[in-house]
């Protein structure tokens, strides 16, 4: 297998100083780092640091789409994960940072493994971190799906799209953990 090193990317927005810092770790390099360092990277695939500027959401969606495709998700699952990440980032920008364009958001994407029903499965863990104020759990309510009006369905989309959705606050940071497991191809059951 061809080995390529770390790929670091900096995307600058044309009209200002907005930057997205991206680091992608090649699979072979990740595995060798695990062997040397006792799994210190914990399966890190991609790390993004960006300001809370909604104009950058398109670039993040593109990165998430490509990562989920490479990870082996089906096309519907790729769209679902991308939509969940987009909704979560939109909520951070809109609610945690009240629309400010210069607040930090950090994202990490990791490969994780589980054994469910004696069947190992691989999953993608996405951790989104912001430094907005603490969120009151009582305010994290979803409106009824029957209400026909724009907005307010982001939490529904996130929960429908992901297998695990966990929120916690630690050391002044809001941490949203999303996990999606890869579903194997469906097999025909023969009687």
Q: What is the pLDDT of residues 95-152, one digit of tens each?
A: 999 999 999 999 999 999 988 776 778 999 999 999 999 877 655 555 455 554 445 5
Phi-psi region of 28 (alpha: psi -120 to 50; beta: other; left: phi over 0): alpha
Q: Which alpha helices (H) appear in the chain, and where do they start and end?
A: 27-37, 57-71, 75-91, 154-161
Find how far residue 111's CA is from the centre of its chain: 11
Distance, in Å, from the CA atom of 78 to the CA atom of 161, rounded to the nearest integer, reads 10
The answer to whether the CB of 154 falls within 8 A of the CB of 90 is yes
Q: What is the pLDDT of residues 30-85, one digit of tens each?
A: 344 344 334 445 699 999 999 999 999 999 999 999 999 999 999 999 999 999 99
The answer to whether the CB of 72 falls within 8 A of the CB of 182 is yes
């Amino acid at each position: 297998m061809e080995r390529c090193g770390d790929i670091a990317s900096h995307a600058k927005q044309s009209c200002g100083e907005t930057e997205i810092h991206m680091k992608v770790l090649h699979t072979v390099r990740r595995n060798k780092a695990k062997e040397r360092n006792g799994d210190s990277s914990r399966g890190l695939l991609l790390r993004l640091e960006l300001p809370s500027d909604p104009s950058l959401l398109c670039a993040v969606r593109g990165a998430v789409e490509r990562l989920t495709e490479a990870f082996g998700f089906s096309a519907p699952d790729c769209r679902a994960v991308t939509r969940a990440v987009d909704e979560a980032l939109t909520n951070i920008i809109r609610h945690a940072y009240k629309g400010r364009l210069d607040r930090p958001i950090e994202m990490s994407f990791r490969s994780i493994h589980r054994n469910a029903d004696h069947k190992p499965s691989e999953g993608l863990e996405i951790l989104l971190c912001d430094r907005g104020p603490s969120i009151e759990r009582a305010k994290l309510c979803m409106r009824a799906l029957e209400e026909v009006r724009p907005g307010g369905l982001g939490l529904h989309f996130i929960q429908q799209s992901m297998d695990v959705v966990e929120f916690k606050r630690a050391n002044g940071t809001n941490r949203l953990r999303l996990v999606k497991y890869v579903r194997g191809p469906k097999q025909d059951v023969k009687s």
